[in-house]
Each structure stands twice: as C-alpha cells, then as structure tokens.
A and B are shown apart, each in its own frame.
Chain A
Amino acid sequence: MVLPALTIYAFLYLYPALSNLAYALQRWDGVTKAKFVGLHNFVNMTNNDDLLHKVVGNSFKFTFFVVIFQTAASLFFATFLVKNTKTNIALRTLYFFPTILSSVSVGLIWTFLYDPNFGFVNAIFKKVGLNSFALNWLGSEKTSLYAIAFSQVWFHTGQMMVIYIAGLQQIPAELYEAAEVDGASRWQQFKSVTWPMAMPTTAVVVAYTTIQSFRAFDLIYSMTQGGPQNSSNILVTLIYNTAFSSFRFGYASAESILLVVVVLVITWLQRRVLRINTGEK
C-alpha cells in the first residue's frame, strides 16, 4: 500500500535531491554540455561572491525580524483571546483570515499600501504628523527588506496565534488561581506561569516561522523581486535568479545546498536552545 506513494516520492523528491548534489559540482548554462568542476562552485561561494554574502545576511535579518515580531505578536494576541467567548472566536477568525490568501495577493496588496505617492501607509503617517516616516518603503535599499518582513508578519500572525491559543488552553487554571492568591500582577503571572508553560508551543512556533521565512519566495518575488540593488534578495530568490535569469544551473544547485545546510543547522540549534529552556522550568 505504501508502494505508489514511495515510487513518486523516490522519483520526484529523493532522486532530485540527490542529483542536486551532482549538479552542484558542475558548471552548466542549461544549453551546452555540463562541465565537471569539482568543488569550484563552493570555493567561489566562500571566497569571491559578495552578492551571496549580502543575500545570506539578508536571509538572516529577514528571518530574525519575522521570528521576533511574529512570535511576540501572536503570543500577545493569544493571551488576549484565550477564552472561548463569542467575540474572541470572531476575532480569531478575522485574524486568521490573511493565512488563506496567496502570497502573491498579499504581495500586491502591500505593494499598493506601501506606494510612496498614494499608498495608505504613508497617508496614515502624514495624517498623524509623522512626515519623516512617509518613505518609499519598497523602493529604498534601507527599508525594502523590513517592509516585506512586516507584510509577512501581518500575513501569518493569526496562524501562529491559533497555535499559541491551543497551547495556552492546556495550562491548568489552578496555576493562575494560585498566582492570584499570592497577589501576582498580570505581568508577573505572564512571566512566571504563561511564558514558562508555553515554552513547548514557542518552540513549535519559532521553528515553523523560521522555515516559513527562509521560504518566503512568493512574497518577495511579487513585491520587489529582490530589489532594489538586491536589498531584499534572500537565498531562495537568489537561487531562482541564478538559475533562471543568469542560467548558472550548477552554481544555483550549490547555493541550494547551502540553503539546506543553513536551515538544518538553525533548526537544530533552536531545538537545543529551546529544549534547554524547557528543561529549566
């Protein structure tokens, strides 16, 4: 019964993953004959590829921004909406709504909102007198990456919030009652009950958000395609461009192996750190 799934999986997932390793050792433009170059691609990646170094930096900045703000926001709203009242359920449904949209739709909507001339974001900043914040959000090298990261947070906070709510509802009510008897303030209750008890959920949320952010191809492609001046280029968009705009398939394969390694190392590190934290409670 496993055979049909296994065949497709082996042929269209495992086999490509392995052949990727072989392509990474070649130089190939997709037309002429591929040439075996050994580890040359990897040497080039390490020593003389400033663009790649910048893009790896961008990937980390993007992921870091999204993980911090999305996790904080989703936990923040989850603590507010943890009780199953009618209003709360309605608000959860609303907050979750962006999750079902396509990244392309979200990207195009935010392209409009960020527009320097008639965009809504700048209109609001001007209205409240913060004229210095009315920037060309997507068109400037300084802000493009973070502007997209903000859209990503808007996009997926509701999804992570629902995971947090499920986690928070598992915390025994007696713990809060005991804290209240001891006269703990709301903040103290959060610090000494909610936060440590929600640590396993945080581990799940952080791990998923990290992978989701490293994969944010669709959103970035539909908003800036990595520009201006590669300021919002992250690894996945770079791999795509290396292969399908510059036609350097071997090099793109080598880059995608770097992506696997980076993602695996980060997930592994996070597991260790968050497991230690969970162990301490």
Chain B
Amino acid sequence: MFYNFARRFALFSFALAIIVPTSIVVLGAFKKDLEIYTEPLAWPKHWSLSNFSRLIHEGNVFVPFRNSLIVTTCSVAITLTLASMAAYGISRMINVTGKVLFLLFSLGLAIPGQVNIIPIYILFTKLHLTNSLIGLIMVNVAVTLPISIFILTTFFRNIQKEMFEVAGIDGASTWRIYRSIALPLSRPAMGATGIFLFVICWNDLLYPLMLITQADKKTLPLTLIDFRGEYATSFSMLFTAILVASMPLVIMYVFMQRSFVAGLTAGAVKG
C-alpha cells in the first residue's frame, strides 16, 4: 500500500517537474511579458502571435534557422558516410591494421573534444575557416567521427561474416559488398547514430561561439545566447525563440521515439 502510494507520488512529481517548465515556455510564447511573470502557468488571455512576428522581423530568426539546418544536415550526412565506410573497412580487416585503426579512433573517445578548442581555433583562423558554415561542418565531422565509427564498427563486427564472404566468392568487389549488403543491413544502426549526431550538431554551442561572429552565419543556439543579452528581461521573446529552436527535434521525437532513445543511449553506452 505505502509502496504504491510512494511510487505514484514520485512518478507524478517528476512528471510535473518536466511538464510545468515545458508548459511555461509553450504558453509563454503566446503571452506578454507581464503575464509570464504574474501567471506563468495560466492560459494566455489573448492568444497572440506578435512574439513570433517580432522574432521573424526584428530577430531575423530564419537566418540562424537555415544555417542550423544546413550545418546539421551536412555534418550528419558526411559523418555517417565516412564513418560507415571506415567502420565497414575496419570490421573486414582481420590483421593487425584493423585493430590499430580501431584503437586510433577510440583514442578520440578518451580525449574530450573540448580540449582541442584552442588548436582548432588557431588552425581555422590560419585556413580562413572562421565565420564559415563549411568550417563548422568540418569541426562537427571531426568531433563526431570517433564515436560514430566506434558504434558502427561494433555493429558490423556482430554481423555474420559468412554474409560478406559468400558475396566475395561470387566475385563482388569490396565496394559492391559494402553498398549492396553492408549498407542495407546497417540501416537501423545508421538511423540511431544519425539521430544521435543530429541532436549533438543541432544543439551545439561551443564551436559556433568560438568560430562565428558574423550575424548571417550564426546558428540557433548562438542566436539564443545573443537574444539573452538583447531581450535581457523579455522572457516572452526568449521562450518564443526556444520554442522555434526546439521544434524540429520535438517533432522528430514525437514520430521517432524509439530511434531517439536507441540513438541517444547508444552514444552514452559506447562513449
């Protein structure tokens, strides 16, 4: 009896702890500032879209939105392609080279990427890759390659070798086996890894903060930080911006919960 009551109470409290802040943000996006301060949880008196139109016209939110979209999709696509090729290659090597290569990439997991911010900044300044979306994509790819290769290599190693060997006997080239057997087989693993990468790149602040100063190259998290200064006490604007910035991932989460959970925990377990 007592256990059941305590269990329900705990579950209910944590659920509230997530629902309440989320509701404050969603409702707040349709309110005036004063209303947010006095009645943060109440239904808006008038559902108004004025925050959104201010965000679009004054805040120019489409520009960072587009930049985030470009940087994230390109980073994910490139990382997935390179990582799956490398992971397949490594998993097919039975000699020492495969082990050495795998260890070399695993080294990237032991060193947190943030340690490299100073040399990356210096290198990118020399190469004129600051204030460039291509520069951001390059950093994202480099930082997320080790973990992606790690996850996918483990996956390919668990596939029965015979599948690849039979194709090899039939005269298919390595490239051909990769394309018509390995890739289709790895679709679930690639999907989960892809979502994991998407979340990381979409939400990243550190590298854009360091490499981007030009307004037309900024990404969403960086723009949110700017808004924090600009609309210092205007939480209605901040909440609207948060809502817009989180929308793509929230929509994806609603439709692909399983892949999200799989992806974001695979990253944790293997990282």
A residues lining the B interface (CB < 8 Å): 1-2, 4-6, 8-9, 11-17, 19-20, 23, 76-77, 80-81, 91-105, 108-113, 117-118, 120, 154, 157, 159-160, 162-163, 166, 186, 204, 208, 211, 214-215, 217-218, 221-222, 236, 239-240, 243-244, 249, 252-253, 256-257, 259-260, 263-264, 267
Contact partner, B138, options A12, A77, A259, Cβ 8 Å: A12
Contacting pair A243 B24 (CB below 8 A): no
Contacting pair B14 A77 (CB below 8 A): yes
Given A12-B138, A20-B119, verify A105-B89 contact (CB < 8 Å). no
Contacting pair A6 B86 (CB below 8 A): yes
Query: Could you say which residues of chain A place their CB within 8 Å of the CB of B25?
Result: 109
CB nearest to A260 among chain B residues:
B115
CB nearest to B252 among chain A residues:
A100
B residues lining the A interface (CB < 8 Å): 3, 7, 10-11, 14-15, 17-22, 24-25, 36-38, 40, 82-83, 85-86, 88-90, 101, 104-105, 107-108, 110-123, 138-139, 141-143, 145-146, 149, 174-175, 178, 199, 202-206, 209-210, 220-221, 224-225, 228, 235, 238-239, 242, 245-246, 249-250, 253, 257, 260-261, 264-265, 268-269, 271
Query: Could you say which residues of chain A place their CB within 8 Å of the CB of B36?
Result: 118
Given contacts A81-B11, A100-B249, A111-B228, 7 further A-B contacts (CB under 8 A): A23-B122, A99-B199, A112-B24, A112-B238, A112-B239, A154-B17, A221-B209
A78 nearest CB across to chain B (Å): 12
Contacting pair A222 B225 (CB below 8 A): yes
B228 nearest CB across to chain A (Å): 6
Which 5 A/B pairs are nearest by Cβ-Cβ distance?
A102-B203, A12-B142, A1-B89, A16-B119, A5-B86
Contacting pair B139 A4 (CB below 8 A): no
B195 nearest CB across to chain A (Å): 9
Contacting pair B118 A252 (CB below 8 A): yes
Given A13-B142, A260-B112, verify A91-B15 contact (CB < 8 Å). yes
Contacting pair A211 B112 (CB below 8 A): yes
Complex Cα distance, B205 from A104, in Å, reads: 7
Contacting pair B221 A163 (CB below 8 A): no
Contacting pair A17 B119 (CB below 8 A): yes
Complex Cα distance, B265 from A39, in Å, reads: 41
Contacting pair A105 B146 (CB below 8 A): no
Contacting pair A1 B88 (CB below 8 A): yes
Query: Could you say which residues of chain B place their CB within 8 Å of the CB of A102?
Result: 202-203, 205, 220-221, 224, 245-246
Contacting pair A239 B114 (CB below 8 A): yes
Contacting pair B203 A104 (CB below 8 A): yes
Contacting pair A109 B114 (CB below 8 A): no
Complex Cα distance, B123 from A11, in Å, reads: 10
Query: Could you say which residues of chain A place their CB within 8 Å of the CB of B22?
Result: 97
Query: Could you say which residues of chain B place their CB within 8 Å of the CB of A239?
Result: 114, 117-118
Contacting pair A236 B114 (CB below 8 A): yes
Complex Cα distance, B204 from A217, in Å, reads: 10
Complex Cα distance, B17 from A36, in Å, reads: 53
Contact partner, A4, options B19, B85, B104, B265, Cβ 8 Å: B85
B153 nearest CB across to chain A (Å): 10
Contact partner, B228, options A4, A16, A157, A222, Cβ 8 Å: A222
Complex Cα distance, B238 from A108, in Å, reads: 8
Complex Cα distance, B209 from A208, in Å, reads: 25
CB nearest to B228 among chain A residues:
A108
Complex Cα distance, B19 from A94, in Å, reads: 8
Complex Cα distance, B235 from A8, in Å, reads: 41
Contacting pair B205 A166 (CB below 8 A): no
Contacting pair A8 B242 (CB below 8 A): no
Contacting pair B18 A94 (CB below 8 A): yes
B34 nearest CB across to chain A (Å): 10
A234 nearest CB across to chain B (Å): 11
Contacting pair B18 A217 (CB below 8 A): no
Contacting pair A162 B117 (CB below 8 A): no
Contacting pair A214 B112 (CB below 8 A): yes
Complex Cα distance, B89 from A105, in Å, reads: 39
A24 nearest CB across to chain B (Å): 9
Contacting pair A103 B235 (CB below 8 A): no
Contacting pair A9 B105 (CB below 8 A): yes
Contacting pair A186 B3 (CB below 8 A): yes
Given A13-B116, A100-B260, A103-B205, verify A249-B149 contact (CB < 8 Å). no
CB nearest to B123 among chain A residues:
A16
B85 nearest CB across to chain A (Å): 5
Given A102-B245, A104-B203, verify A263-B17 contact (CB < 8 Å). no
Contacting pair A120 B203 (CB below 8 A): no
Query: Could you say which residues of chain B place their CB within 8 Å of the CB of A20?
Result: 115-116, 118-119
Contacting pair B89 A163 (CB below 8 A): no
Contacting pair A9 B178 (CB below 8 A): no
